[in-house]
């Protein structure tokens, strides 16, 4: 996609601090990091939403994340890591290209757990939870 910043990095049209590359995946340091070592892992092919990524590319994407988490933690001496995907604008996705955030975390850094992302928690009944379970599992 011609106006996608991540596609431009993949194509080499704009520089990126590349830390990992495979046939289907590219990983680079975030230009606006939330923490030292904040890394983005993207499929090389443009896909806006996670369910659009072909299975082989998705497998490669998550294999790269699995490989990179301990390497990123080690590089910046992090105590832990948040791994996240904002899948769609309502979830806070700002770049219309699938990307996985690897955000190193440090004791006392003031960050919050992933549960803080969603705002107020819903009060769901057992029946509602059963309906959701059935709908997801098919």
The set of catalytic residues is: 99
- Those residues whose C-beta lies under 8 Å from the C-beta of residue 116, and which sit 6 or more positions away, are none
Q: What is the DSSP string of 1-48?
A: -TT-HHHHHHHTSS---EEEE-SSEEEEE-SS-SSTT-EEEEESS--S
């Amino acid at each position: 996609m011609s106006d996608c910043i991540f596609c431009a990095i993949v194509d080499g049209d704009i520089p990126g601090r590349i830390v990992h590359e495979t046939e289907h995946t590219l990983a680079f340091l975030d230009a606006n990091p939330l923490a030292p070592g904040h890394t983005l892992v993207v499929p090389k092919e443009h896909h806006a939403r996670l369910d659009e990524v072909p299975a082989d590319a998705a497998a490669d994407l998550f294999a790269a994340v699995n490989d990179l988490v301990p390497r990123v933690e080690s590089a910046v001496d992090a105590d832990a890591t948040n791994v996240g995907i904002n899948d769609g604008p309502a979830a806070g996705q700002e770049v219309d290209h699938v990307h996985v955030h690897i955000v190193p975390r440090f004791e006392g850094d003031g960050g919050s757990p992933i549960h803080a992302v969603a705002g107020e928690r819903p009060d769901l009944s057992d029946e509602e939870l059963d309906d959701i379970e059935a709908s997801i599992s098919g």
